[in-house]
Amino acid sequence: MVVDTSAVLAVFFDEPHAAWVADAMNVHAGELRMSTVNLAETLILVRDRQPQRAEVLETMLQDAGLRFVAPDARQARIAAEARLRFPLNLGDCFVYALAVAEDCAIITLVNDFRHTDRPLVMPSKQGP
């Protein structure tokens, strides 16, 4: 199960779907993974919004049992192809690439992933 940046940030910033994401991550504990590209994206966004809490985020990610996966050349090709096929930003392309490479679903709050060919774990209603 690949964890998207949106899911991590929802929990960290206690956004509307935080409890749902935390439950989904608990259900899939032991099989959670995240691209190191998305780890960097997450760290950048937290340091931009609340730099004083960056260390808290890093501890939270370690405690969540995520396996961090550095992209290889195959994932880079998959990400590049995804950018041309789907309405995904660069970070989302690497979420998708890892999910393809490891043949697994994506935990996300981003509706753009609905246009891809990967199974998704996301709330049935995204809210306003």
Domain CATH for 88: 3.40.50.1010
Residue 126 lies in a domain: no
Residue 11: C-alpha distances to residues 14, 58, 74, 101 (Å): 5, 13, 30, 26
- What is the domain extent for residue 67? 2-121
Residue 127 lies in a domain: no
Instruction: Spell out the residues 6+ positions from residue 60 whose beta carbon is closer than 8 angstroms to its own.
Output: 11, 12
Helix (H, G, I), strand (E, B) or coil at 60: helix
Q: How many domains does the chain have?
A: 1
pLDDT, one tens digit per residue, over 10-27 is 999 999 999 999 999 999
pLDDT, one tens digit per residue, over 94-109 is 999 999 999 999 999 9
26-59 in b/e form (b: 16+ CB < 10 A) is: eebeeebbbbebbbebbeebbeeeeeeebeebee
Q: 67: which 2 tokens?
A: 């396996």
